[in-house]
Amino acid sequence: MAFTAQKMPWWADGILLPILNLCAAFVVSGLVVLAMGESPIEVLSLLIEGAFGFEEGISYTFYYATNFIFTGLAVSLAFHAGHFNIGGEGQAMIGGLGLTFAVFLVGDFSPVVSVLAAIVGSALFGAAWAYIPAYLQAKRGSHIVITTIMFNFIASALLAYFLVGPLQRPGGQMPESADFPEAASLMGIHELLAGIGINFEEGPMNVSLLIALVCAVGVWFLLWRTRFGYELRVVGQNPEAARFGGISVSKMTIMAMMISGALAGLMGLNELLGDQHRLVGGFTQGYGFVGIAVAFMGRNHPIGIVIASLLFGALYQGGSEIGFEISTITNDVIVMVQGLVILFAGAMPYLFKGMLAKIFALSRRNAVGEGETK
Amino acid sequence: MMEFLADLTLLADSTLRIATPLILAALAGLVAERGGVVDIGLEGKMLAAAFAAAAAAAVTGSPWPGLAAGIGASVALSLLHGYVSISQRGNQIVSGMAINIAVAGLAPTLANFWFQRGGQTPLLTDESRFSAISLPFADTLKDVPVLGALYSEIISGHNLITYMTVFLVPAVAWMLYKTRFGLRLRAVGENPEAVDTAGISVAALRYQAIIIAGILCGLAGTVLSTGLGAGFIRDMSAGKGFLALAAMIFGKWKPVPTLLACLLFGFVDALQGRLQGVSLPLIGEIPVQFTIMLPYVLTVIILAGFVGKIQAPRASGIPYEKDH
């Protein structure tokens, strides 16, 4: 079966298709909501109201979106190299651990030093956690999907160990560290806006959002404007051709996974440095997995990923607001939507693509036919 | 010495218990991959089956409707995975992950909606689950040295699905190696072109493989919530679907080695349960977080230990296209 996808205009492939996939996921979720005796329309309007209806809600939407930009970029970078990194969750946890070590190490010296140390610490630890599965895949052929999943479980246990052991707040009972030094903090966007005279309600949205956007630009530049990125994509598209062309597939696998792990690790900046100001057990909350849905939804392109992140940010924030009104609609529903988005956007890209291509081929034929008769 | 023996008996007993869902799920993965479809979604199907089984058992008060519901849920997801992988020729790994994540959200949502217990099902009574079966003479033979203890402590006292599993391993092996269907199934995982040339439908065979996998995985999930446990708990599959896949790879896609790999995983998991809070000579007490890691670390070591020896079914994971 030949798909005439290439003959579709760019907007059909890049915009219409993701929207159709998203709609399909929404329709199925709507049916589940309907089966639970609630009105999908009411749920949707509560969701939009919760996500964008008031300034604090907007702040939370962008705050969640920041996490998803980091983890989405992480999944997509590995995917461009032909690997499915499901370990974003664990890489973010260990990244958070690295961030914590780094900020306590530099102490209260200066905010700039603290933030730089946090960036280096989280990226390094995230990359290191991705290095082991990557090495095992490249050199020993161990299935990276299974090893990264295992590393999520191991990371979670390791984090728990540190938080009830060496890193636990002195005298505390909760699985959390002591508060970070005063200097280790990222400015809220509302403070930044206040600086230029705009009044915006206080919220968790912070400067990490800007760092995430810089990362998105960086990933774009790396993938499409450098030799390294070109080689990485060749490895992902056709490892045989890459090997023939003199590119070391195992080296690219390891490099791509390490950058991917570093990006996932940076998620801690937003959660820990931007909001919590301490290391908390389970702070990743499954955001590493959201990255998978975000990457497919955004068609593995940084611009798409930023847009998809915003969408999922809205889903998370709006979703948690729905819980207050309708007790049966919890964040679990949002997890289900995530799975459905991965199913439609990631696993069945041809479902609507084939259909769309036919429609476009048909309309083109009609147009040509009309032209001939005239 | 007696205490050590008693410990060992307990360990062997819980190894069998814990290995049951792993063996069933690994067999499911094995049948699917032998037929050329990679099934990363075992985890999600197991979770769905565990939920459906516990919910049906809780409502009806009997484990049998639970078994039917568990298998039904798992087969339905199998068919979805089959539609994506076989008919749509989509990415099988991505489809499996999508199923895992969607179920992780859907199961607690439905549990919360039906039972209002924060995403769990009610605790099942002994009548509504597959509880321990005492084999004949287990009590009378208990005092016979060694053999009697072996029989009454280790072999007797498991649930029905565990006993079924004992027969299912040779049954799957027989199906794969001794029947015409099994021959075709293995062929479609190695060389679908040849099967197609012989005039046999590749898609039909793969759908059959994935349905068998669905049934086996449904049993795995059912035993989790109605055999080993007494109800559905959020995320109760806890990576077992992935451990099963690792066991299958370790077992080189063959039933008996896969069984042994699952028993090894079961043993390590049982051991980690026993090690919690125990002070070991020289090392001292191991923090509980490290004992919890054991099965996962073992998986990584096992997967890493194979260099160049792995030979997956050649066409596994590759969609079949007739006209290329």
Total domains, chain A: 1
Domain span holding position A93: 67-152+180-348
Which pLDDT does position B307 carry in this prediction?
Answer: 46
Pick from A291-295, B122-126, B149-153 the range whose average pLDDT is largest: A291-295
> Would you call B289 and A160 a contact, using CB atoms and an 8 Å cutoff?
yes
Q: Is the pLDDT of residue B271 over 90?
A: no
Mean pLDDT over the full length of chain B: 88
Q: CB A225: neighbour CB atoms within 10 A?
A: 10
Contact A347, B90 (CB under 8 A): yes
* B50-102 residue pLDDT tens: 999 999 999 998 999 999 999 999 999 999 999 999 988 888 888 998 999 99
Which pLDDT does position A2 carry in this prediction?
Answer: 42
> Would you call B106 and A145 a contact, using CB atoms and an 8 Å cutoff?
no
Percent of chain A with pLDDT over 70: 96
Which pLDDT does position B158 carry in this prediction?
Answer: 86
- Residue B114 burial by CB count (10 A; 0-12/13-18/19+): exposed, middle or buried? middle
Q: First vs last Cα of chain A: how many Å apart?
A: 34
At CB < 8 A and 24+ separation, what contacts does A241-250 make? A249/A138, A250/A138, A250/A139
Which pLDDT does position A354 carry in this prediction?
Answer: 78
Element (H, E) at B166: helix B160-178
Which pLDDT does position B277 carry in this prediction?
Answer: 72
Out of A1, A145, A349, the one facing B40 most closely (by C-beta) is A145
Which pLDDT does position B2 carry in this prediction?
Answer: 64
For residue A306, being part of any structural domain is answered with yes
**Distant-in-sequence, close-in-space partners of B44: CB < 8 Å, separation ≥ 6:** B77, B96, B99, B100, B101, B102, B103, B104, B237, B241
Contacts of A343 in chain B (CB under 8 A): 84, 95, 98-99, 102
* B195-239 residue pLDDT tens: 899 999 999 999 999 999 999 999 999 999 998 888 999 889 988
> CA torsion angle for A295, A296, A297, A301 (degrees, to 10)?
60
Which pLDDT does position A7 carry in this prediction?
Answer: 67
How many residue pairs from chains A and B have C-beta atoms closer than 8 A? 155
What 3-state DSSP class applies to B44? helix
Q: Does B275 touch chain A (CB under 8 A)?
A: no
**Strand boundaries in chain B, DSSP class E:** 279-280, 284-285
Which pLDDT does position A349 carry in this prediction?
Answer: 77
Work out whether the CA dihedral B45, A137, A258, B94 comes out positive or negative: negative
Q: Is the pLDDT of residue B161 over 60?
A: yes
Which pLDDT does position A374 carry in this prediction?
Answer: 43
pLDDT tens by residue, chain A, 374 residues: 344 445 678 888 778 888 888 899 989 999 999 998 889 999 999 999 999 999 999 999 999 999 999 999 999 999 999 999 999 999 999 999 999 999 999 988 899 999 999 999 999 999 999 999 999 999 888 889 889 989 999 999 999 999 998 999 998 888 999 999 998 999 999 999 999 988 999 999 999 999 999 999 999 999 999 999 999 999 999 999 999 999 999 999 999 999 999 999 999 999 999 999 999 998 998 899 999 989 988 989 999 999 999 999 999 999 889 888 888 888 888 889 889 988 998 888 778 887 888 888 888 777 766 655 44
Out of A154, A296, A347, the one facing B296 most closely (by C-beta) is A154
> Would you call B109 and A143 a contact, using CB atoms and an 8 Å cutoff?
no
Q: Does A355 touch chain B (CB under 8 A)?
A: no
Angstrom CA distances, A235 to A25, A246, A321, stand at 31, 11, 43
Q: Does B276 touch chain A (CB under 8 A)?
A: no
DSSP state letter for A181: P
Q: Does A201 touch chain B (CB under 8 A)?
A: no
Q: Does B148 touch chain A (CB under 8 A)?
A: no
Tell me what the mean pLDDT of segment B158-174 comes to: 91
Q: Where are the domains of chain B?
A: 20-125+141-237
Give CA–CA dist A231/A247, Å, rounded. Answer: 7
* A16-66 residue pLDDT tens: 888 888 899 989 999 999 998 889 999 999 999 999 999 999 999 999 999
**Taking CA atoms, what residue in A is nearest to B98?**
A339
Which pLDDT does position A5 carry in this prediction?
Answer: 45
Q: Is the pLDDT of residue B34 over 80?
A: yes
